[in-house]
Amino acid sequence: MSEQLQLRRGTAAQIAAFTGAQGEVVVDTTNNRLVLQDGATAGGYAAAKLSEVVANTRTSIADASYAATATDRTIAYVALTAARAVALPAASAYPTGTRLLVVDESGACSSSATLTLNANGSDRINGAASFVIASPYGCAAIESNGANAWTIVDQFAPGSLTTIAQGPFGASFQCGVLETLVTLSGASTTAPTPIPANCIVTAVGARTVTAVTGAPSFQVGVSGNAGLFGSGLNVAAGSINFGLIGPNPYYSATPLIVTATSGAFTGGAVRLSIHYLSMGPSTW
């Protein structure tokens, strides 16, 4: 005949007031878990259930906003066509010190199709109510203090800003490079990636990736100054131009335009590189 082992048991409230013998195990019937006693501590030490064990779970999201849960560990966007938001759980509900990663796996994240992490209620992310990922294949890893705040412990954004100096309250001096491929057609073509708002540009470089046809040469600039970053540029594949200028401030996002010096483009591609400085004010 089989034997049956039955342990002492009680509700969570009863267990919290109970001090068992050292090495004794009792059953919490409220939470359906085992609790180890040490002979001295009221309530003992509860064993974690499988659902509470930290696991490298991955949640795949296709082009939609998402409400993160306390069991999420990686939130991966596999498709993105517009700005989407990730609503974070309360910091107090997320396992302390456990990393939550939000990543763009689609490569479609951009300044217009962003991923915004929104803190719950009065919680903060590095002192702010939200954090934005705005670069292809960008990501951010955050951890909770178990109370009311998240800290960014890692982030990656190809072409993102590099901090040169930072103040104790988040003010920063940063530099960055953005690259954008422009497939040419017509009399002029606007680059997919603009000059960022609130920055100082020092250069916009150009490389002819695919030989340009339909025009003898081209120029790179902005509206009202078509050759600001170079004119009469070579159409042969492999040609480059550094596009250096005196430091020039831009207070709003400004499109870059590649213009044929005469005629109209019938083909070709140019990769532009935006070299810029950013001065961020204090974040709290």
Domain boundaries, the chain: 9-51, 54-159, 175-280
Provide mean pLDDT across the span 235-248: 96
Residue closest to 198 by CA, chosen among 159, 250, 246: 250
Q: What confidence score (pLDDT) does residue 107 get?
A: 86
- 18-32, pLDDT tens digit by residue? 999 999 999 999 988
Q: With a cut of 60, say whether residue 245 has pLDDT above it.
A: yes
Identical topology for domains 9-51 and 175-280: no
Q: Work out the pLDDT band at 1, boundaries 50, 70, 90.
A: low
Q: What confidence score (pLDDT) does residue 97 get?
A: 81
Q: What confidence score (pLDDT) does residue 186 get?
A: 95
- 146-172, pLDDT tens digit by residue? 899 999 988 776 666 788 898 888 788
For residues 148-170, one letter each, b for 16 or more C-beta atoms within 10 angstroms of the residue's C-beta and e for the rest, the string is ebbeeeebebeeebeeeeeeeee
Q: With a cut of 90, say whether residue 280 has pLDDT above it.
A: no
pTM recorded for the entire structure: 0.52
Looking at domain 175-280, does it have CATH number 2.60.120?
yes
C-alpha 134/C-alpha 137 separation (Å) is: 9
Provide mean pLDDT across the span 196-201: 92
Q: What confidence score (pLDDT) does residue 283 get?
A: 73
Looking at domain 9-51, does it have CATH number 2.10.10.30?
yes
For the domain with range 54-159, which CATH number is right: 3.20.20.70, 2.40.50.140, 1.10.8.100, 2.60.120.640?
2.60.120.640
Q: What confidence score (pLDDT) does residue 248 get?
A: 93
C-alpha 115/C-alpha 111 separation (Å) is: 9
Structure tokens at 78: 């596999």
- What values do phi and psi take at 114, rounded to 5? -90, 165
